[in-house]
Structure 1
Amino acid sequence: MPNPVPLRIADIYVPGPRKKTLEPDKVEALANDIIENGQTTPIRVREGKGRYVLLEGLHRLEALRALGEEKVVVYITQARLH
């Protein structure tokens, strides 16, 4: 497993189809949990063209964004070749 690293939220691109799965109630619940416990699970991204692309952790990312955080802890993984 890769090492978790901090990354600027502004540097993470969320693909359009993934945005459609966003559930505001989950974001709010996660934001409250993050206030109490901090970010306990890193999100997963891959390197893209001059940016990082979100693979997993949309609700955690949006919860941190809603809390006004500028950085998120991520795992940077390699894109899968099919």
Structure 2
Amino acid sequence: MLRVQKFKIDEIYVPTARRKTLHPETVRLLAEDILENGQKTPIQVRFDGKRHILVEGLHRLEASKWLGEAFIDGYLVQARRH
């Protein structure tokens, strides 16, 4: 069973290929929703032995950064390597 944990936003690595899928307007709208309603869905990260790597939730992560948050709710998952 996965449990929600707090992750330090500035310590989460976002792979370059993931960054290319970022849509600024989506980030802005999501930030407004998080501000009004809180973060509804945790992000997913994996740990590669050195750092936490984003698996799912790029727009939620960027929206939280935009809001000036230091931590974000997330799940630590065991992701397959492709």
Whether these two folds match at TM > 0.5 is: yes
What TM bracket, shorter-length normalisation?
Answer: over 0.9
Task: Kindly report structure 1 stretches of 4+ aligned residues shifted beyond 4 Å.
Answer: none
Q: Distance in 2 between matches of 1:43 and 1:33?
A: 16
TM-score, length-scaled by structure 1: 0.94
Q: Distance in 2 between matches of 1:78 and 1:21?
A: 22
Q: How many residues align?
A: 82
Structure 2: state its 5+ residue gaps: none
TM-score, length-scaled by structure 2: 0.94
Identity among equivalent positions (%) equals 52
Q: Distance in 2 between matches of 1:50 and 1:56?
A: 19
RMSD: 1.2
- Match in the other structure for 2:15: 15
Structure 1: state its 5+ residue gaps: none
